[in-house]
Structure 1
Amino acid sequence: MREDIKRHLDESIPSHITLTEAQKNKIMHEIPKRMKQKKFKLPSIPLIISLAIISLSLFLVIPYLDDDLQQLYDEKLVDVTIPEAPYTSLIRSIYVDNSKEIIYTDWNGIYSYSVETKKTEILVIPKEESRIHLFAVNENWVAWEDITNSTLNVLNRNNNEVKKQSNIHLSDIHLQDDTLLIGYIDNSIRYRAIDLPSMKQRDLHDLTGNGSSSLATVQDNLLVVLEEIEIDGEQLVRFYLYDYHQNILIGEYEVPYEMAAFVTLTDNKIFAELINEDENSKLGYIDLEDGKLYELKAPLFSEYAVYKDYVALSVIVKESTTVKLYQIEENELRELPAFQNIRERLVRPRFTEDGTLIVNGEGAKRTMYLQDMDITP
């Protein structure tokens, strides 16, 4: 009987799941007890016995998988506390994967906190008269607007050279390698690409609709800008997809919603929170392979972030909200065991370009959590 159980157990476990011998032995010990509890007649009906063993095997495997997966997430989770940083700065901070640093502004200066050395470096010397609002950063560049004098500043982190452009009012800012992409206000909102080594500039898009409820999104050489429009009395959101290297419009896509927020380009899909007045918002994406809109079956949420097939949602828990992690499977969300041991409320989910999930804790220490998503069960 034990050999039959072992054989069925080995055959029933999916190929991508690995159990230790100790885990297998414990499951094999439990199966006969469970079958006796259900009053199976072990010697009589081989097919029923086989199906029962397979069913029980999978049932008993699940707790081991959940425990092991939670352990993997815990091992890849880093908590960071920056005592001198204001909370209002931390919730707007940016994590740079390559240099393992958290970049933040206190409105007067810009700072880098090394996760490895736990030391803070001043990148932009604070000035009392300065007011830094929008900023973007990577391992080579820092770009920011000082709204007190409407100046765009770009710091080359390799040689500390600063380049300036005056009389510009920003509405959006993104850094991608050596290209700065900005939304700026000039009668209407326009999007422009700036090659930082040469500071050569070229305009990409003018917003001509009724505005936008979301910032643009950038991935690799692609930029997505959106506008809320009205056609024959119907309110729509139109997405424009640009190759900003070649300065060409690749495609336009429309969805039958009044607004779209938190627009994100990842995995050849344009994700967005889709909003109609007096309705619960929905999470969906446009698949660039076929240009169609797909809606995800998701719980109610107040914020979201997405990277490939991972989705972080701020969802209702008891009388508040916190961040939970999910994986997309056939346009439904399967909850993953991340952040299970964190008791404080988590807010402001955001993914880096390389897939690290950043959340802010609202406990007394204002800890930030960095979840590496490079996990193989």
Structure 2
Amino acid sequence: MIYVTETLLYVCFCILTGGQILSLVPEDKRPTIEIPNWLIIVCAAGIALLSFAPVFKIIDFFAKDFGESYWVIGKGVLLDFKMGHAWLYTLFFSCALIFIRVLRGSKKDPFVDILGLIFTLGLIGAFGWASHCASNFAIKGFITHSTHFLAVSVWIGILLVAAWFSKDQQHWQAFFKWFSPVALVCVSITVVAGLILMKFIVPEYLNSWMITYGQTLLIKHVLIIPLLVIAFMNGFLTKRKFVSNPNYDPKPWIRAESIMAILVLSATSVMGQQNPPHELSIENTIKLTQPSSLFTLFNQLPADFMVKIGVNLWSVVLLLLAALLIFTMLFVFVKRQKASMAVICMGLILAVVTYVAVMVSVI
């Protein structure tokens, strides 16, 4: 259940960010977007409620450990713990956002939209302040994590809202003219910030595959591959579609990209509930916890606790199959309009094939 709530938290952030940004985009630069005011309010309330789950986990642990009431322990956690402070900031920004959206109602008000975007940035900052990286690496961890999450929220947020709340076929070409470069910048920032976060949290990336956290991170990375393939389709190949057909409807394909993005967020939510191995070596971590069952399914633990990558027949065959799947996804996109679900299925198969190729390459 905690993984579901964490995924919903990420989705709330994305809808909120995407909705606030698109409300400020001129109407001739996007299709008509009708995102209900109540949904923005629900997302703001959902962020406050769902982000309390890890705080309650700490409160529950100390209450049972010390035999104190939840009220007493709760006050201590909220007032004395960094995560508690971050949640109080989250509650403030959520309530402020709900307040102005209730006053705004269904009427458009650019000032309220700008203010709402500022409060949304505050929520993202509070989320970054509560992260593992900020707790262990202070300001540089906070900046890196917040930048990473902001880029993801902008990219996937605009994508989600445009995919599921657009109401007509107008101005899609104008939309892609500005969204494609924005998405490219966001993806670039996400990759760079993600690599820095990995250096902080998982300094032994290959060795981390032996534990559950590292396996989850690897699964997230292989899921990103089909996401980037579909993003490439929507960002670059769509231009050709509009040249041959100005009334081309890209919604099925950006919906496919949004579904794949949610799967990546789901993997991220699993990671968020596990302890990263940044404080101990992987060898010492395995002594305190069980090795990953997925890793031991493919390989035995190396005696020196050092994972190395080699090339063998199976890994080459599987990587060639992965390349064939990518080519097939691109071919289907170019040749067929209504095959987005087939591309999602091929994307999932691509992720599985890539994962197995990596695991059988371990020596």
Structure 1 length-normalised TM: 0.24
Higher fraction of helix: 2
**Higher RCO (CA-CA < 8 Å; seq separation 6+):** 2
The structure with the greater share of residues assigned to strand is 1
Q: Bigger radius of gyration, 1 or 2?
A: 1
